[in-house]
Amino acid sequence: MDRPLVSIITPMYKVEQVLPSCLDCMLSQTYSPLEVIFVDDCSPDRSSSLVEEYAHRLEERGHLIKLVKHQLNQGVASARNTGLEQATGEYIYYFDADDYLEPNGIELMVARAESSDADIVGCNWQLSYEGTKRKMFQPKVLSGVGAFTKMCEGVLKWNLWLFLVRRSLYEQGEMLRFTPQENMGEDMMIMGKLFLRAERVEMIDEHLYHYTKTNSGSLTANYTDAHWAQVDANLRSLSRCVDRCGTESQKKEIEYLKLNLKLPLLISPCRADYQRWADWFPEANTYIMQNRTLPLRTRLVQLAAKHKLWGLVWLYYHLIMRFLYSLLYK
């Protein structure tokens, strides 16, 4: 029996330095056939040329290669949409050019999807940051409803590169697409909606994806007002979807998600971040103590913020996040 085609979508913008390892990663995949779609978002370097140089080697492995070029830089959300429009595979997988996927990654995810009739298959991953490596784990889930709950509770990560998704989920009913220009939090919005559409979701208990974190400082150090506005827009899009067709339980869970997205603003020494926390989705603060999947200390620091006890929030950041974590993850 012929194996299903898998479409791998990789947006490209200023990735010339890391693209060779990305292309080697595609070459090393044990699964075939792959439809490898590179979307050049008007990158000012040799990214497209490198893809063209590798194309014949990928084709020799039985893969289909598509290189699509934007005439103007549109951002990663539009690049993902372009890739999705070009995709013809039964399954969709998004891959970031600066990361690494184990050679049997696609093979294992497709095998699980086919054997369990899953709409979405996820995996664990390894985080590399400032010379350290940590193994990160996803919780076990069996349904889209369960995955959505775990995502909102803050124990399941929604990064696109963690999931192989049946393409029909994007196309059924109203087509799911990323919102152009809303380039932060776009994966949260899409994966939340995909989970709500999925019947069966499976997790592979292996660390198949290797993610390299490059920015340092506080969790919000590299966020601008525009970034927060994009996260806000994507969260509101998901929230409207839940309001329209979700259950009462899911409407409560989306409030947990709002709190989790606000939380990095408290992992900061900056009073401006604290004020943004206070102003953003204040209606969610009612639910602070109800999400019992979060550690008590996390709920307590949010409770302190709700009551504007900013000195306690500042102390938490310096004692727990900077001092204790620096010892644990040295």
Q: What angle do CA 303, 311, 296 make, to 5 degrees?
A: 30
Helices and strands of the chain, counted as H and E runs: 13, 9
- pLDDT of residue 328 exceeding 50, the answer is no
pLDDT in tens, 114-133: 999 999 999 999 998 777 88
Q: Are 12 and 159 in a shared domain?
A: yes
pLDDT band at 321 (very low <50, low <70, confident <90, very high): low
Residues 13 and 154 in one domain: yes
- Under the banding of pLDDT at 50, 70 and 90, the label for residue 220 is low
Look over the chain and give the mean of its residue pLDDT values, rounded to a whole number.
93
Residues 179 and 63 in one domain: yes
Q: How far is CA 306 from CA 16, 156, 200, 252, 263, in A?
A: 45, 25, 37, 18, 12
Angle at 307 between CA 301 and CA 310, to 5 degrees: 60
Q: Which of 178, 213, 248 is the last residue of a domain?
A: 213
Residue 324 has pLDDT above 60, yes or no: no
Number of Cβ within a 10 Å radius of residue 233? 16
> Is residue 1 in a domain?
no
Same domain as 157, residue 81:
yes
Percent share of the chain, pLDDT over 70: 94
For residues 191 and 318, membership in a common domain is answered with no
Strand ranges (E), 102-231: 120-129, 132-136, 163-166, 201-213
pLDDT at 132: 84
The verdict on 230 and 181 lying in the same domain is no
Determine, yes or no, domain membership for 220.
Answer: no
Domain-embedded: residue 131: yes
* pLDDT tens by residue, 152-185: 999 999 999 999 999 999 998 889 999 999 999 9
DSSP state of 205: E
Domain end position, chosen among 213, 235, 264 = 213
Per the structure, the complete domain to which residue 274 belongs is given by: 225-328
Quick one: pLDDT at residue 322?
64
Residue 172: predicted pLDDT = 87
For residue 69, is pLDDT > 60? yes
pLDDT given at position 131: 76
Q: How many domains does the chain have?
A: 2
Distance CA 11, CA 47 (A): 10
CATH number at residue 62: 3.90.550.10
- Contact in structure between 254 and 241 (CB atoms under 8 Å): no
pLDDT at 72: 95
Does a structural domain hold residue 218? no
Do both 14 and 131 map to the same domain? Answer: yes
Question: Is the predicted pLDDT of residue 71 greater than 90, yes or no?
Answer: yes
Query: Among residues 213, 233, 266, which one ends one of the domains?
Result: 213
Same domain for 194 and 269, yes or no, is no
Judge if 203 and 278 occupy the same domain: no
- 3-state SS class at 94: strand
Please tell me the distance from the alpha carbon of residue 185 to that of residue 151, in angstroms, as a whole number: 13
N-terminal to C-terminal alpha carbon distance within the chain: 50
Q: How far apart are CA 174 and CA 191, in angstroms?
A: 15
Q: Are residues 173 and 255 located together in one domain of the fold?
A: no
